[in-house]
A and B are shown apart, each in its own frame.
Chain A
Amino acid sequence: MPKAAAWILGRNVLNIVVAVKLVPDTNADKRIDPTTKRLVRAGIETVLNPFDEFAIEAALQLKEKLGGNAVVSICTTAPESGKEVVRKALAMGADDAVMVSDPALEGSDVAGTARATAAAIKKIGFDLVLCGTQSTDAGTGELPGMLGEYLGVAALTYARKLDLDGTILRAERETETGYQRVSVQLPALASVTKSIAQPRYASLKGIMSAKKKAIKTFVLADLALDRPAGQEGALTEVVALAAPPAREKGRVVPVADDDEGARVILEFLQEKKLL
């Protein structure tokens, strides 16, 4: 079992850790340099993964529901240059933050990132870990499950509603056709969807006070991982990159009336053998 934090020990303070990722700005129209085959990062800002903002909001609301008897910590594995982005999460209202920053982490795969993040979260202690369902850059949606495994706790994914009932976490978990009511004993991890709550904007007061909040940094030596990190420990590697087949501009057909519109589409679907 992981180290039990305050809430479970009956100390009436819930330790919530929000695991976040820093990603290239989602609204930028990204492109790949045809020569280097890498993402062109020039002019693209680093931002908090938008999915993780929902998790921060969920953590802050949980803290409010508990009458403030919670500590919300942000945890991310990212280069030190991401510190100012982490400060934005603190400006929303999180209490403190911890970053795992080590050049040796470069080239990590999702498992490597999850291991380093889990080690940091264990070190600071937790009752509940929250995260987004996926990231907007890699978007694999695999981190929540892996993080749960490495933390040694259950990972309740796709939660659209969270409630705490003593040391039991109750959630509504989205499914393709509706939702499930799921319960789990703390300590646990939950990933939340955007339906959980609209993330708040940082207030001026929040931005000012974030400047004074602590951001702790761990290097790999602090974490005692049982496997090599970074590229050396990666279990997958990119062996080739290619440009996708271009999508040509198709036909644009203004129609005189609704019947013509329906007919044009039907004939097109028949021509493409899609009926």
Chain B
Amino acid sequence: MRDVIVFIEHHAGKPRRVSLELASKARDTADALGGKAHAVIVGGAAPAVAQIVKNYPLDRIHIADDADADRYLVEPQVAYMEAVARAVGPALILVPNTMIGRDVGSRVAARLNAGITADATDIVVEGASVRAISPKLGGLTIVACAFTRQDGYGVISVRPNVFEPRESSSAVEIVTLAKPVSPAFRMTIEEEVVEAAAELGVEEASIVVSGGRGLGGPEPFAGTLKDLADALGGAVGASRAAVDAGWISHSRQVGQTGKTISPKLYIAVGISGAIQHKVGMRTAGTIVAINKDASVPIGEFADLLVVGDLFGIVPLLTKKVREARAVLA
């Protein structure tokens, strides 16, 4: 495998930040392997998205301006990814480790008989061999995984926020894909319902403000906590206790039965930090906790635990963050 192919996940006409992170890492990986860096963009918004993605260090962008991708679930994306991969030949395929990315990566791997390794936080090239580095067992151990067949395809799902997106002024070729000959698409999207207008999911956000049992009800998630997340440009997350109580959607849950994330900053509000939560966030860059109890487990691994009243502290912190950012701007 020499060439690298990146699946570009996009939303509302823009590439997800993680897609740009992957495009940049694809460049370095392709250079180390002596191949080219490709990106694949599928959907009615593909041409618009390509205009943004072409500012990143790729060799070729394959666009599929196909409205089917907006009407059918995931299978169109898989069909185009498979078609590009077959045309390019044995390659390394990078997908974001997000809900859509995992869906695309797992199916493409099955179709191409590719090895697949998940949730990488680094990609290392040694000679002609690619290794994916992933924390496993909730960050208990760091595993380096290699593909057993150098003449085959490999798929790596990459955790968001681990690589820096890097713009480039070099020329990128944009090609349009023909509709692949593949089985009919089977899963029809009847309706798209937006419940939380949040742009960012917890997996992708570089700053996550999470709430737990200490919040006492659903209101602070939509109010106090959301305000702080907005002020910081981050997303709202939650502990299992808060999700099980029905205060916030499961898609926001961080931890063993939720999502495992590595944001630059994680703020845990009213969360004790039991093992099942810890495994979902212990690889965050910086962890700040606010809790009324000084003896909570999160105090053992947070960079800062402020012991006090979250309902008083969080709104004041939001105000101070806004003021500080206004000065910076």
Contact = CB atoms under 8 A, between A and B. Distances in A.
Interface of A: 26-27, 29-32, 37, 39, 50-51, 109-111, 114, 136-146, 148-150, 153-158, 160, 170, 173-185, 188, 193-195, 234-244, 247-255, 257-266, 268-270, 272, 274-275
Q: Which 10 A-B pairs have the closest CB atoms?
A: A258-B312, A145-B106, A235-B115, A176-B201, A149-B110, A140-B118, A178-B195, A262-B316, A261-B313, A250-B303
Contacts of B137: 30, 32, 39, 137
Give chain B's interface secondary structure class.
Answer: mixed
Given A32-B141, A181-B189, A239-B146, A194 B257 contact: yes
B74 to A, nearest CB: 8
B210 interface: no
Contact of B307 (A173, A254, A258): A254
Contacts of B307: 252-255
Contacts of A269: 265, 288, 321
Given A26-B276, A27-B276, A244-B141, A180 B193 contact: yes
Contacts of A261: 290, 306, 308-309, 312-313, 316-317
Nearest to A152: B183
Given A142-B116, A175-B251, A249 B301 contact: yes
Interface stretch (B21-29, B37-45, B97-105): B97-105
A90 to B, nearest CB: 23
B275 interface: yes
B82 to A, nearest CB: 11
Contacts of A175: 99, 192, 251
A249 B267 CA distance: 16
Interface string B95-130: 000110011011101110111111100000000000
A126 B152 CA distance: 32
Given A139-B260, A177-B198, A265-B313, A253 B306 contact: yes
B149 A26 contact: no
Given A156-B73, A252-B307, A265 B290 contact: yes
Given A170-B190, A183-B187, 19 more contacts: A29-B275, A32-B140, A110-B116, A114-B110, A145-B103, A146-B109, A157-B103, A176-B198, A176-B251, A177-B199, A180-B73, A181-B190, A238-B144, A240-B143, A250-B304, A258-B313, A259-B316, A266-B317, A275-B328
B143 A272 contact: no
A200 to B, nearest CB: 16
Nearest to B265: A274
A271 B290 CA distance: 18
A174 B194 CA distance: 10
B196 A177 contact: yes
Given A180-B192, A181-B190, A238-B143, A266 B117 contact: no
B169 interface: no
A154 B116 contact: no
Give chain A's interface secondary structure class.
Answer: mixed
B288 A236 contact: no
Given A175-B251, A180-B73, A180-B193, A241 B143 contact: yes
Contacts, number: 275
A85 to B, nearest CB: 18
A144 B103 CA distance: 8
Contacts of A180: 73, 189-193
A49 B203 CA distance: 22
A107 B285 CA distance: 33
B308 A254 contact: yes
A239 B194 CA distance: 43
A264 B316 CA distance: 11
Interface in B68-103: 73-75, 98-99, 102-103
14 contacts: A50-B257, A139-B260, A140-B116, A140-B118, A177-B199, A194-B250, A235-B148, A236-B115, A244-B140, A244-B283, A250-B305, A258-B309, A261-B316, A272-B265
A131 to B, nearest CB: 12
A72 to B, nearest CB: 22
A193 B325 CA distance: 38
Nearest to A196: B250
A140 B260 CA distance: 10
B263 to A, nearest CB: 10
B299 interface: yes
Given A173-B73, A263-B320, A266-B320, A178 B110 contact: no
A4 to B, nearest CB: 15
Interface string B315-329: 011011100110010
A235 B153 CA distance: 9
Nearest to A268: B304
A213 B107 CA distance: 34
Contact of A270 (B106, B194, B324): B324
B92 to A, nearest CB: 13
A53 B161 CA distance: 31
B305 A251 contact: yes
A29 to B, nearest CB: 5
